[in-house]
Amino acid sequence: MLMSVLVVAAALVVAYLLGAIPGGYIIARHHGIPDLRKVGSGNVGATNVVRLLGFRAGIWVYVLDIAKGVLAEVIGLFVVQDIMGRELFLLLVALAAILGHVFPIYIGFRGGKGVNTALGTMLVLLPLETLCCVAVFLVVAFATRYISLGSILGALTLPTVLLVERYAFGWDVSDVYLIMTITIGLLVPLTHYKNVGRLLAGTESRFSLKGSGGKGASRG
């Protein structure tokens, strides 16, 4: 029993430390921005990097932030213990990775909004449903050039797909996953509340494929 508890605790710590790796901060430094927290929106997520440095730089942040969520869940799959239900344990691993991204220990607990790391965890747990979310994000983001709008609608797509699977098709959808995705779907608009206000006011910044080279200000 004690060993199982220790394994679970270790898995959650590892998931947090993986999630805390600041991909945006690292990529920005590579492109000549010493501290991403002091430019643009001050956010270390992919959106700030895209606006400042363009989509070519930002895509690496997306890859890193998604990959750490994937890796955290893959590790979780290998160490699942009987101390709790499999789905609940994997949910806790996902939350640990997301919290790591939002509150990264490596750079003073000032991180991003956790959308891409959450996406990485969901790609492992609910791959087909998550790909639907990615498709919605890409279509909306590139059609409108609003990353925030794409993120919000993409996040809301995940619980919508699960609800359709459960109640329209009668598929066996876990309560844990349903509650988790509804929570994520509600949290993403909340973490983007400033963006929502600017979207409604018509003042939200659109991303550029070229970016400003780190010299211009941006809002995130």
Compute the distance between CA of residue 4 and CA of residue 201 in angstroms, rounded to an integer. Answer: 52
How wide is the angle at C-alpha 114 spanned by C-alphas 86 and 203, nearest 5°? 145
pLDDT value of position 81: 62
* Type of residue at 35: D
Contact indicator for 80, 89 with CB cutoff of 8 Å = yes
pLDDT bucket at 218, cuts 50 / 70 / 90: very low
Share of the chain above pLDDT 90, in %: 62
CA atoms within 13 A on the CB side of 50: 22
Compute the distance between CA of residue 58 and CA of residue 159 in angstroms, rounded to an integer. Answer: 27
CA atoms within 13 A on the CB side of 48: 26
R_g of the chain, CA atoms, integer Å? 18
Q: Which of 16-25, 52-61, 85-94 has the highest mean pLDDT?
A: 16-25
User: What's the pTM?
Assistant: 0.85
Tens-place pLDDT, residues 23-43: 999 999 999 999 999 998 888
pLDDT value of position 209: 65
pLDDT value of position 113: 86
**Among the listed residues 117, 158, 112, 114, the one whose alpha carbon sits nearest the alpha carbon of residue 134:** 158
Contact indicator for 125, 94 with CB cutoff of 8 Å = yes
Compute the distance between CA of residue 188 and CA of residue 174 in angstroms, rounded to an integer. Answer: 21
Q: Show me where the domains of the chain are located.
A: 1-125, 127-205
pLDDT bucket at 112, cuts 50 / 70 / 90: confident
Tens-place pLDDT, residues 44-78: 988 889 889 988 899 999 999 999 999 999 999 98
Q: Which residues contact 84 (CB under 8 A, 6 or more apart)?
A: 8
Compute the distance between CA of residue 148 and CA of residue 129 in angstroms, rounded to an integer. Answer: 20
Tens-place pLDDT, residues 150-173: 999 999 999 999 999 999 999 999
**Among the listed residues 180, 218, 179, 196, the one whose alpha carbon sits nearest the alpha carbon of residue 51:** 218
Which residue has 């893959």 as its token pair? 74
Compute the distance between CA of residue 26 and CA of residue 50 in angstroms, rounded to an integer. Answer: 14
Is the pLDDT at 82 greater than 90? The verdict is no
Q: Which two tokens stand for residue 190?
A: 């909340």
